[in-house]
Structure 1
Amino acid sequence: MKEDRIIEEMFKTLKGSFDTEEPEAGHEQRFLEKLSNVNGVVRLTPKKHSWWRPLSIAASIMLLFAVGASLYTNQPTIDEQLAEISPEVSQTQFYFASLIEDQIKELENESTPETKKLVDDALLQLNKLEINYKKLEQDLLNGGNSKLILSAMITNYQTRIDLLQEVMDKIENIKTLKNYDDENITI
């Protein structure tokens, strides 16, 4: 208790001499600068929030997505491009292609050991004609003489059909000769 009295007396004697006013604006900043200059202390300042870095990262990601999307967009096929140039070409191509496909299936079904070489040769020739046709398609897309190229494309299809028909006729002849030879053999 004796200590409490001492403290009370000290406060009574100091009454009115206390500084009760608030410090001026920037007092803390000035104090910290003086403190760092005296002691050689490096002051850590709080980082200001910068939106530049996250914004640049987001923009980079968006750019990568845009480039990726442009690489994976479907470019129109040659058939679609031909249909844009001339819808009749597309219809004609569909008709001939389905007709040729049916004849090729029929040809493959008629393949026997006696006709295998003939069928294989016909398929090889058809493959060469298909490659030639692809070149004609490309020439048409590149802006060549469209009437001349379209005529060549139709001729290519007709050649394939004629080839298939000729091979089928030869296969029929081979079958007929085989049946004829078998009938003439006596036991």
Structure 2
Amino acid sequence: MKNLRKQIKDNKDIFDDQEPMEGHFERFEALLDKQEKEKRKPIKRMQLMGIISIAASIVVLMVVAIQFYSPQHIPNDLPVIENTMEVSDEFRATNDFYNRQMQEQIADIMCKLANTDSENQALLNRDLQKIIDGNAAFVNDMANADDEEMAIHYLVKHYKANIQALENINEKLGKYTKC
């Protein structure tokens, strides 16, 4: 073998003057392209599998986070005047109108609240519960009031103040999260 190498080295001029066969460069290029494509296929598969596994991990983390860190359920059952109370249709309609607006605000807040940290969730849950409880007590007091016109007037003022407070909370949460 050493003699063969020595002979090739000594007679290099003989080997270098010959041209490759016709189409050699095209076949060589095709062979290189084929080898390059075969190397890229596993990489693409690995990249795709990596992306899929990352996406699956994110989904699992989101499910776990929502399960453990979602805000405690706040009852959205805002006061609805019982049928046993003697109130006018105007009082009932006014209460229902503003009641719906409060429920919409609370639903939007709860959606955004699910995306905040647990400390904010606890604080806002307590604040929302106070608003809901205070509203229920106020509506019941107004439903039992003697002067219906004044009761409706104060009911509207009370609801507007509560809705404004809820809108402020919702707006502040909206700066950080969109639902």
TM range (shorter): 0.3 to 0.5
